[in-house]
Structure 1
């Protein structure tokens, strides 16, 4: 299985696509979304405006512009509420991002920890959903070469990812 973990700034990775934890309007916000928008440059805002909005769990793609990554896949995670729909919507973010990557012929994707910042999803629970959904997708698409990198911004997230990776 081609699943890896990496600690650092997702905007520095040279991969086919990085996955942005976006807001519904696809306008750069805080956290990783703001960092990606700043690093990609002003053309990203224009490209996002042209896409319109994005529903929770869905994914859309833009060029990477000034990033080392060729593309940015934007997905909108759920705002954590503790309801039974939270893990379903979060899983959809990972599944749909990988679907968009495959539809665009991409073979390396780096994910940020979707919904774990200002959207308040507990890191432990969100990470289990993320790793479970990515592993499931990789098993179901064995015929497609895909390298998935789960990016941990800090040491706490990296330690948790190490544990989940096994």
Structure 2
């Protein structure tokens, strides 16, 4: 089936899409998916890619929850790339640890590993006073960042007048 699609300059404006349908063995659910793979793609390859989708989505969920994939505040494209690279490295580390310990801890999750590391790794915050000092310092830096942003905004507004 040919569905219209906007393409890049000079690219064809329409392409072929594969409609994939899968029925549960008991016949209760029917699931559909679209693929823009090449028309020559085999049905087996399309089924393999569709079957891998669950694992890809699961790895993104784990990267978001355990490695902070969705917790970025960047102003430039390069900073976003740096953040995503660090998330990928952290996710790879957690995946390797899960594989290394699968014989003794079959259900070990990324979240479990993060908890273990938080517990086992040393921290600067030992006492209540350390915690209070850390929060005060974080508030000081946050205030400085806000004031800097306000100054930049004010300068931009006055320059546009």
TM > 0.5 fold call: no
Q: Which has the higher contact order (CA 8 A, sep 6+)?
A: 1
TM-score (norm 1): 0.20
Q: State which structure, 1 or 2, has the greater radius of gyration over its C-alpha atoms.
A: 2
